[in-house]
Amino acid sequence: MTGVIAAGNPQTALAGAEMLRQGGNAADAAVAAAFASFIAEIGVVHLGGSGLGQVYDPARGESTVYDFFSAMPGLGRTEPPARLDFEAVEIDYGATTQRFYLGRGSVAVPGNIAGLCRLAADYGRLPLATLLRPAISLAKGGALLDRFQADTCELLRPLYTHTESIRTIFAPQGEMIRAGERVAIPHLDETLTALAEEGEALARHGPLAQALLADQEQNGGLLTPADLEAYAVYRLPPLRVAYRDFEILLPPPTSTGGVLTAFSLLLLAHFPVATLQPNDADHLRLLYEVMAATARARATWEELAGTGDSASAVAAFLDARFVESHVEAVRRALAQGRASLPVAEPPGPANTSHLSVIDGEGMAVALTTTAGESAGYVVPGTGMIPNNILGEEDLNPRGFHRWPAGARIPTMMTPTIVLRDGTIRLVTGSGGSNRIRSAILQTLSNVLDFDLPLEAAVGAPRVHLENRVLQCEAGYDPAAVAAVEAAGYPVNRWKARSIYFGGAHSVGATPAGLVAAGDDRRGGAAATVS
């Protein structure tokens, strides 16, 4: 089948393209690529993580969001372990440091295997064993480490050298693996081969589940057999937002990112963006004010979400009157010519990867996965690196281990699909914590407002509002940035393009055909099957 895929690594993209060549559809390509990414993109994603996906099926005329993000463990547990394995490490990002917590006590219920297997069963054409072949091949032969992945591994050295079991992968000879070397993950090919034979049961109550649970029980973890048995993949309708002549499909809660991106789009729709010059001073000020208004509104969203009635919370937050009150605040700030006051937002997991696929029949998949930064160890005899979702401060705002057992943990991941007149136009998403929203918003606007070609839309310099400061990526007109700063907007000029600004690997449908663009900020690659 013809089609296009954009992903975070050439080996990931090729895995998906191979499924299209074998007659698979976009769902097959996305699932195969995701499993391959757990080896090819080992610096940012792992098998023991979780994610969100969205599938648009033109034959059924519907879009379905697959929520397979992590849940809080502890079902059936009457008391905590005698000693919780939960340790802090500091990561030095240069301009700042950030603390993460690792160990068995940082592991939330993983969802990747359940979610990908369910997506393949619901929409795919090829057997699971076929979809897993590229990942098994990479696990056996070792994936070639590219510069982006090597740099990420080096950045996260304290996590990837935390225990002997994980050092065997990331520092097998005592030195961190480097670009151009092959990554060896002992036993992972055996686990994936077993998964091809047994399916999702392997991770729910089969040998992989048993190995994970035994290690948790012996070493101070929280996961229980009941957690794995009770875990469910949610199939949900998307949030639908009208924007210009397009319909934007976004994930609903537990995706906080989908709700906040919807809010930003509703704000931006009130302004004649297409009449502006892309990335000039007026455009930068508008982006700042929309991002600031969304950050201020987030507190209201958190209050509404806390009621437990998701549908009512979304309806109230995206209500036209509530949105209009923030539109007026943006208008006042622009008219007065000085920056409005945003609020700080907590950072989230930056180690996230996204992929986008469209096949020749118009089926589209947007898929985002994460493992946090990883729990710093490998489940014995499996090659599976678990997540550290419970060790992310922003995902645990009430304090660590305060979510009730079984609760789905909110995420900022926002796999996004755009339709025009009921047909696919664009598929996008991003990694990058709260920068996911700004990356997606600007990619959407570049295509839908400015009609930029996809590669230019993805590659255009970005801004992000962080703690009242407009972070301006290299590539902006210095005069435009200076004019914004002279108007009283705090600005930080970046000297280079950076992974900080996300990785919006995107595909699209144009009158000339299908197009794809990998975001080079995060090792992006694209493949076309004709």
Q: Which amino acid is at 115?
A: G
Model confidence at 347, pLDDT cuts 50, 70, 90, reads: low
Rounded Cα distance between 378 and 385, Å, is 5
pLDDT digits (tens, 9 = 90+) for 210-239: 999 999 999 999 999 999 999 999 999 999
Percent of the chain, pLDDT > 70?
Answer: 98
For residue 495, the number of C-alpha atoms closer than 13 Å in the C-beta half-sphere is 0
- For residue 168, give every residue at least 6 positions away whose Cβ sits within 8 Å of its Cβ, in sequence order, or none: 186, 378
Which residues, 6 or more positions from 38, have their beta carbon under 8 angstroms from its beta carbon?
A: 45, 46, 47, 112, 135
398-447 pLDDT, tens digit each: 789 999 999 999 999 999 999 999 999 999 999 987 889 999 999 999 99
At 53 the pLDDT is: 98
pLDDT at 228: 98
Please report which confidence band the pLDDT of residue 93 belongs to, taking 50, 70 and 90 as the band edges.
low
The span from the CA of 72 to the CA of 396, in Å, is: 10
Annotated catalytic residue within 261, 352, 382, 414: 352
Average pLDDT over residues 365-391: 96
Q: At 209, is the pLDDT very low, low, confident or very high (cuts 50, 70, 90)?
A: very high
Instruction: Tell how far CA 85 is from the center of its chain.
Output: 27
Quick check: 448 pLDDT over 80?
A: yes
Confirm if 400 and 388 have CB atoms less than 8 A apart: no
List beta partners, residue 248. Answer: 241, 418
Beta strands 234-236 and 62-68, pairing class: antiparallel
pLDDT of res. 80: 87
CA-based end-to-end distance of the chain: 7
Whole-model pTM? 0.96
- Are the C-beta atoms of residues 227 and 73 closer than 8 Å to each other? yes
CB 164 within 8 A of CB 376: no
Question: Does residue 99 register a pLDDT over 90?
Answer: no
Q: Give me the chain's average pLDDT, please.
A: 95
Does residue 95 sit in helix, strand or coil? coil
Confidence check: pLDDT of 473 > 60: yes
Strands 513-517 and 506-510 come out as antiparallel
Residue type, 10: P
Q: Above 70 in pLDDT, residue 96? A: no
Active site residue 300: no
Report residue 284 as tokens.
């930068």
pLDDT for 342 equals: 74
| Cα gap 349→98, rounded to integer Å | 11
Q: So what's the pLDDT on residue 468?
A: 86
- Region 190-217: mean pLDDT is 98
CB 303 within 8 A of CB 458: no
pLDDT at site 95 = 57
Domains in the chain (CATH in brackets) are 11-51+60-232+354-395 (no CATH), 236-348+414-529 (3.60.20.40)
* pLDDT exceeds cutoff 70 at 350: no
Which sign does the torsion angle of CA 103, 84, 50, 433 carry? negative
